[in-house]
């Protein structure tokens, strides 16, 4: 009787810890140079600053659409911020007024003005694999 209870307990615990994969598809890449920086965020406090990202990936900007996958993520709310580093200086270049000079985008879409906050960009990840699209602007 102890073995079935132990198995049931482990099954219930493991099901709550199941992980999913998140595929981020980045589209509207117009210049095939530099790299695409993808930041995955868990919390709103530092979104979308790269120093606050939970995980990050860099992929080559060599076609109109690229993708990358974050694996083994736990269920919860996430947000994604992306920019194309055309000059490979590892930063999103902006003009005097703080307006980006390089392509960028966010999960949840790109607002007409400004940067979205975490609540506007977030999406919920369950224990199923998930895919989102980020369109560079």
Tens of pLDDT along 39-61?
999 987 789 988 889 999 999 99
pTM comes to 0.85
- Position 5 scores a pLDDT of 45
Q: Does domain 18-135 have CATH number 1.25.40?
A: no
Among 5-9, 48-52, 62-66, 119-123, the least confident range: 5-9
Cα separation of 93 and 86, whole Å? 9
Q: Which residue has the higher pLDDT, 8 or 79?
A: 79
- Position 78 scores a pLDDT of 96
Average pLDDT over residues 7-33: 75
> What are the sequence ranges of the domains in the chain?
18-135
Average pLDDT over residues 70-96: 96
């Amino acid at each position: 009787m102890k073995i079935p209870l132990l198995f049931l307990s482990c099954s219930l615990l493991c099901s709550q810890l199941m992980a999913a994969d998140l595929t981020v598809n980045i589209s509207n890449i117009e210049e095939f140079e530099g790299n695409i920086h993808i930041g995955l965020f868990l919390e709103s406090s530092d979104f979308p600053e790269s120093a606050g990202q939970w995980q990050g990936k860099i992929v080559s900007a060599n076609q109109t659409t690229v993708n990358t996958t974050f694996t083994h993520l736990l269920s919860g709310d996430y947000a994604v911020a992306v920019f194309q580093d055309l000059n490979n200086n590892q930063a999103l270049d902006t003009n005097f007024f703080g307006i980006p000079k390089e392509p960028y985008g966010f999960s949840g879409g790109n607002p007409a003005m400004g940067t979205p906050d975490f609540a506007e960009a977030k999406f919920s990840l369950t224990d199923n694999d998930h895919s989102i699209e980020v369109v560079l602007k």
